[in-house]
Structure 1
Amino acid sequence: MKNLASAGHTVSLARIAQKAARLAQVVNAATRTAASGAGLTNADADVLLALSGAPDHRLRPTSLSSACGLSSGGTSNVVLRLAQAGYVNREANIHDGRSTWVQLTEEGEALTRSVLDSAAAEHARLRERLPDDTAVAFEKLLDSVLDHLEGRGRRPGPTPPP
């Protein structure tokens, strides 16, 4: 493959970011479809998935809001709806009487696993559309790009003459 950079071909970071965002939309649509199939809104799914990934499957409401990109009022509404459905419960923080925890119930854990399994199956179907080794190569390229942009990688210098 010829070196496109040396041929004067450049791509803006904005364009790369747009394509990465589109890829995220395609992949996230599978999760949204799985959530919708389980009768969940996007916000419901975000809360359940955030709790599922948290230690002991619980978070404080403020942390849950941050993790899901929801306002405190939006988080309260979602938590109330999920609590009424039996998927989460609120419990007092025994170390701080002013705060509470939001925790997945067993039913919430089972529902979240079901949504994740359904999404994973769709992700696998999407992955199968890619030519062999494309996902592995693409992940390596993304890792390299992120390492360089976040200051962890070194830009290769000129190749010394033989």
Structure 2
Amino acid sequence: MKPDEIDALVPRWEEAGMSPSLVATLELSKRAARLNLLFEQAVKAELAELGLTYAEFDVLVALSRAPASRMKPSELAKNLLLTSGGTSNVLQRLTAAGHVEREADTGDARSRWVRLTEEGRRTAAAALEVSGRVHEEVTAGIPEETLRRAADALREVLAPLGRRRFR
């Protein structure tokens, strides 16, 4: 197996007296972060050509998966792990671009729904297509069985963590 940039850090961690378990955990964390960064950078570059930020993409995709393509802003924030202020800013930009619209919640006068417009549906579909293509390009040359093993191993690590939040 060819060493990566994370392997260069391991001797320092070991010299610092870190346990093998902690070293393995740090390797996992650093590699997962590096992998996420590679995917995110590649996707962001393509989304920019569609006039979208990564956060806007996340919101459009979340809305496209929601029943009736609508959610409350608080649900979006919770599902996407965004602050209410961050969600509000993204929704303002998407509204101005004609991708989403807000409507009153007839069951709760204090609340509003956010829903995709037809333009928003088309943009979400195009962005999902771009994201899929980019993910395939990033992983090109990696055997499918390697990708499957990695995905399964990460599931095994993440499953016991659930949706824990840490300070």
Q: Which residue does 2:98 correspond to in 1?
A: 86
Shift of 1:132: 4.9
Q: Which residue does 2:11 correspond to in 1?
A: none
Q: Which residue does 1:71 correspond to in 2?
A: 83
Provide the secondary structure at the position in 2 that maps to 1:67: helix
Q: Does 1:62 align with 2:59?
A: no
Q: Does 1:137 align with 2:132?
A: no
Matches of 1:21 and 1:50, distance apart in 2: 22
Q: Which residue does 2:138 correspond to in 1?
A: 126
The structure whose Rg is larger is 1
How many residue pairs are counted as aligned between the two chains?
143
Shift of 1:141: 2.4
Higher helix proportion (structure 1 or 2)? 2
Shift of 1:150: 4.2
C-alpha change, 1:144 and 1:34, in structure 2 (3 Å) is same
Instruction: State the TM-score, normalized to the length of structure 1.
Output: 0.76
Structure 2: runs of 5+ lacking an equivalent: 1-19, 163-167
Q: Over the residues paired in the alignment, what is the CA RMSD in angstroms?
A: 2.3
Matches within 5 A, 1:33-52: 33-52=45-64
Q: Give 2:34's match in structure 1, choosing from 22, 32, 48.
A: 22
The one-letter amino acid of 2:47's match is A
Instruction: State the TM-score, normalized to the length of structure 2.
Output: 0.74
Shift of 1:29: 2.4
Provide the secondary structure at the position in 2 that maps to 1:12: helix
Matches of 1:17 and 1:49, distance apart in 2: 26
The answer to whether the 8 Å contact 1:32/1:42 transfers is yes
Q: Give 2:119's match in structure 1, choosing from 94, 107, 121.
A: 107
- Percent identical among aligned pairs is 39
